[in-house]
Amino acid sequence: MTMPKVSVVIPTYNYAQYVGIAVKSVLDQSYPNLEIFVVDDGSTDKTQEVLMPYIPWIHYYYKDNGGTASALNFGITRATGKYVCWLSSDDIFLPDKVAKQVALMEKEPGLGFSYTSFVVIDGAGSKQYEVHSPFYRDQREMVTKLIEGCFINGSSVMIRKAALDQVGFFDESMTTVHDYELWFRLLRSYPCGFLDELLLGYRWHGQNGSLFVPPNFTEPAIKRARQLFPGL
């Protein structure tokens, strides 16, 4: 298998408790050709102190707080890999995550992105349960099901950098659905792939950002989807 470079962007904000574990999970990948960008979005806790031991192996940036989408875009603009992954700083990649997704993306060069199933873990990292995400090969069915609700875990996604360059990066005006909205833009131009393998540890610890979203928060993403796919 060829080993193209993969850029992993880890946006973080006041997650000193977990961010080091997230970084280590990338450093421990079985896939060697990686670059890691940790974008500290204005943390006021001990995030920088926690990351200091990893500085020889990561690109660390501190910026004023602007939200997850702005932190992701900050990292993506500096990425030099053929593929880009996003890892939330409270989640972890399981050891073969990158290798298996690169194999899929290289085997199917038309794919714009891919995602995987995942394991839910608790604050201490203990497995709670498995989530086998749905997948629909037919593009119209995929979009229709996504409009009903987002089933793609952002930290499980690998995106072809050329596809991002074509459709644009995360929409920074969408504070909570920047990922959901991007999936529709990618699907407008590219098919996506899927691995029904547990390659991500999604940490549920009681302070997840998804607990603090306003009512009807998905409306901007769904509106964009209907603009891109008239008739759905």
Residue with tokens 């928060």: 217
Q: Give the CATH number for residue 109.
A: 3.90.550.10
Return all residues near 29 (Cβ < 8 A) that are at least 6 apart.
93, 95, 96, 97, 98, 99
pLDDT tens-place string over residues 194-217: 999 999 999 987 665 555 556 678
β pairing state of 83-86 and 158-160: antiparallel
Comparison of pLDDT for 71 and 204, the residue scoring more = 71
Give how many domains the chain has, as a whole number: 1
Q: Is residue 126 part of a domain?
A: yes
Q: Is residue 11 part of a domain?
A: yes
Q: Give the confidence band of 13 by pLDDT, cuts at 50, 70, 90.
A: very high
pLDDT tens-place string over residues 160-189: 999 999 999 999 998 789 999 999 999 999
pLDDT tens-place string over residues 93-139: 999 999 999 999 999 999 999 999 999 999 999 999 999 999 999 99
Q: Tell me which residue range forms the domain holding 170.
A: 6-228
DSSP string, 85-127: EE--TT-EE-TTHHHHHHHHHHHSTT-SEEEEEEEEE-TT--E
Question: Cα torsion at 145, 151, 156, 157 (round to 10°)?
Answer: 30
What is the reported pTM? 0.95
**Helix (H) and strand (E) counts for the chain?**
8, 9
Distance (Å, whole) CA 196 – CA 118: 8
Residue with tokens 């409270």: 90
Q: Is residue 27 part of a domain?
A: yes
Q: Is residue 61 part of a domain?
A: yes
Where are any strands of DSSP class E within the chain? 6-12, 34-40, 59-62, 83-86, 92-93, 113-121, 127-131, 158-160, 192-203
Q: Is residue 211 part of a domain?
A: yes
Distance (Å, whole) CA 9 – CA 74: 9
Q: Is residue 171 part of a domain?
A: yes
Q: Is residue 1 part of a domain?
A: no
| DSSP H helices in 114-160 | 139-148
pLDDT at 173: 92
Say if residues 218 and 177 touch (Cβ distance below 8 Å). yes
